[in-house]
Amino acid sequence: MPKLDESLLAPLPPFSHLERSQIRTILDQASSERHDEGVSVFTEGDVADRFFLLLDGTIRVVKITPDGDQVTSLHIPSGQLFGIAQALGRTTYPATAVSASEVLTLSWPTSLWQTFVVDYPGFATETYKTVGARVSEMNTRIVEMSTQHVEQRVARALLRLVNQSGRNTPEGIEISFPITRQDVSEMTGTTLHTVSRLLSAWEKDGLVASRRKKIIICDPHSLVVLGGA
Amino acid sequence: MPKLDESLLAPLPPFSHLERSQIRTILDQASSERHDEGVSVFTEGDVADRFFLLLDGTIRVVKITPDGDQVTSLHIPSGQLFGIAQALGRTTYPATAVSASEVLTLSWPTSLWQTFVVDYPGFATETYKTVGARVSEMNTRIVEMSTQHVEQRVARALLRLVNQSGRNTPEGIEISFPITRQDVSEMTGTTLHTVSRLLSAWEKDGLVASRRKKIIICDPHSLVVLGGA
DNA sequence: CGGCAGTTTGATCCCGGTCAAAATATGTGG
DNA sequence: CCACATATTTTGACCGGGATCAAACTGCCG
């Protein structure tokens, strides 16, 4: 395993209040792992024996229903903690974490969680903020699914992805990880067919541009309007 | 304000590990309040200056969209903490808490939160379990809304309510607080009309019995079947 | 007993799911 | 580098669940 540099963690909120030496200790206790796209980092129901930090890439948090339908709860951008079952008072992971792109993770055994919370100022606060933000996001999803039409939900979902992990290109802002129509449909509770139709229509109007597994937002403002009304 | 008895708090999870004297201290710092049905205990966006314990009754957690639609996120049964913005790293309440029935609450100023977490063993753990349970419930909602039909969602919503706060009657298990078709529709992302039609059909088949603002589940098993497929 | 809050029921319409099939990328092994 | 297998996307045709519109009905409270 390569020796990790302290500058990796120093700017990230959960660790930003810490001394160099503390960060060194934390890094020395971490395991680093690389995963290909589309791999499960952990699976719903598994005993939560480790917690994770996403160094690079994007994680998709999914749930699978008894009859095989897949639903995406949220996306986690790099720099955030995930698999933090401890912060929810759980001993098993509540959902499955799948790599949406090639990812780089750090992880620590659950047994260190208490140590982190007690010894490292700001760690607890920041993790609860993370939890709070995700609760907000889930709440938003529920409200949207209860009150909005598919077109609005898809528009908003794309905007959220682009805000969270967008990358500038000459054509517009592109979602920085591979994403299929099917993926979008699992985020919005619709079908890949409907997503395809919407994207085609939007592409015709110049709002988006898309290739296989790639979506670029050319006119965010118009999408906001679509999502807002 | 009436002097509160220690036996009120002693059996509740957040306080169950505590000494008599600690509970006394906690009670002496609490404000007790009674609210009529349909009153906002706090409102989304308000500065979270207090956190609450529901001693009696049921709280409905709602969000209101810019265009006035109301969505119910969850119901909180008596004995649970609510308005615990601190546990989510927030300084404002993320949603509005409305009394679904006459309610009795205790509350403490936010400034005591840290004290509770640090001084009272088990308090932190139990509150994070509460948060975890609510996250689970929200996740379930999202999955249901993404994959199930209205009939199934309504069936499950009723079963959830009955499990959480059901009361036995000769006719069956009744939801222990006043609830309208409109309320059910706001929990399931549908309209009061559709809920009414479903309840009428179920009543004809003897699955439920309902009066104005009252729903009784006569045949839970059949409802489970409806909700399951 | 008048009036409102809640419920029921009918008629109609349309969004978006389902079914079906073709078109277009991407990858793989020979 | 080509041919074939596979994954992703597109598009069309159809249909049905559930929303919407509209109106009547039923406690219930003052």
What residue ranges do the domains of chain B occupy?
Answer: 6-145, 149-226
pLDDT at A177 over 70: yes
Residues in B touching A224 (Cβ below 8 Å): none
Q: Which two tokens stand for residue B46?
A: 């308000």
Cβ atoms of A5 and A73 within 8 Å: the answer is: no
pLDDT at B3 over 80: no
Separation of alpha carbons A49 and B93, rounded Å:
32
Task: Label residue B31 by pLDDT band (50, 70, 90).
Answer: very high
What is the residue-wise DSSP string for A75-123? EE-TT-EE--GGGGT-SB-SSEEEESSSEEEEEEEGGGHHHHHHHSTTH
Q: Beta carbon of B115 within 7 Å of strand C?
A: no
Quick one: average pLDDT of A24-47?
A: 96
Three-point CA angle A61, B151, B97, nearest 5°? 65
Separation of alpha carbons B79 and B12, rounded Å:
6
pLDDT at A101 over 60: yes
Supply the pLDDT for residue B228. 85
The percentage of chain B sitting over the pLDDT mark of 90, rounded to a whole number, equals: 96
Contacts made by residues B18-26, CB under 8 angstroms, sequence distance 24+: B18/B120, B18/B121, B18/B122, B22/B119, B22/B120, B26/B108, B26/B116, B26/B120
Residue length of chain A: 229
Quick one: average pLDDT of B130-156?
A: 97
Contacts made by residues A111-117, CB under 8 angstroms, sequence distance 24+: A112/A29, A113/A51, A113/A84, A113/A86, A116/A26
H or E element that contains A194: helix A192-204
Quick one: average pLDDT of A89-98?
A: 97
Taking an 8 Å cut-off on Cβ atoms, the answer to whether A71 and B135 are in contact is no
Task: Label residue B229 by pLDDT band (50, 70, 90).
Answer: low
Quick one: average pLDDT of A144-170?
A: 97
Residues 152-181 of chain A: which lie with beta carbon within 7 Å of strand D?
180-181
Q: Beta carbon of A191 within 7 Å of strand C?
A: yes
Residues in B touching A143 (Cβ below 8 Å): 63, 65, 71
Q: Which two tokens stand for residue B33?
A: 């309040």
> Sheet harboring A96-99: ordered strands across?
A40-42, A96-99, A59-64, A70-76
Tell me the CA–C1' distance in angstroms for A177 and D9.
18
Q: Which of A93, A112, A85 is nearest to A26 (CA)?
A: A112
Determine the angle formed by the axes of helices B150-165 and B181-188, rounding to 10 degrees: 110
Cβ atoms of B75 and B113 within 8 Å: the answer is: no
pTM summary value:
0.94
Residue B34's SS3 state is: strand
Residue type at A183 in one-letter notation: D
Higher model confidence: residue B134 or residue B1?
A: B134
Cβ atoms of B43 and B93 within 8 Å: the answer is: yes
* Ranges of H-type helices in B67-173: 113-119, 123-147, 150-165
Task: Label residue B4 by pLDDT band (50, 70, 90).
Answer: confident
A185 to A72, A193, A201: CA distances (angstroms): 9, 9, 16
- Closest partner CB to A138 (pick from B130, B142, B147): B142
Separation of alpha carbons A85 and A61, rounded Å:
13
Domain A149-226 class in CATH: mainly alpha
Residue type at A117 in one-letter notation: V
Same fold yes or no, B6-145 and B149-226? no
Supply the pLDDT for residue A2. 62
pLDDT at B211 over 80: yes
Taking an 8 Å cut-off on Cβ atoms, the answer to whether B146 and A73 are in contact is no
Mean predicted lDDT score pLDDT of chain B:
95
pLDDT at B2 over 90: no
Supply the pLDDT for residue A95. 97
Separation of alpha carbons B67 and B78, rounded Å:
31
Q: Beta carbon of A186 within 7 Å of strand C?
A: no
pLDDT at A93 over 80: yes
Q: Beta carbon of B71 within 7 Å of strand D?
A: no
Q: How many CB atoms lie within 10 A of CB B38?
A: 12
Which nucleotides on chain C have any atom < 7 A from a protein Cβ? Answer: 6-10, 15-20, 25-26
Mean predicted lDDT score pLDDT of chain A:
96
Interface of B with A (CB under 8 A): 63, 65, 69, 71, 73, 85-90, 94-95, 125-132, 134-136, 138-139, 141-143, 145-147, 186, 189
Q: Which two tokens stand for residue B44?
A: 């989304």
**CA within 13 Å, CB half, A26:** 27
Taking an 8 Å cut-off on Cβ atoms, the answer to whether B125 and A95 are in contact is no
Tell me the CA–C1' distance in angstroms for A151 and C25.
26
Domain A6-145 has CATH 2.60.120.10: yes
**pLDDT tens digit sequence for B72-83:** 999 999 999 999
**pLDDT tens digit sequence for A123-150:** 999 999 999 999 999 999 999 999 999 9
Cβ atoms of A125 and A117 within 8 Å: the answer is: no
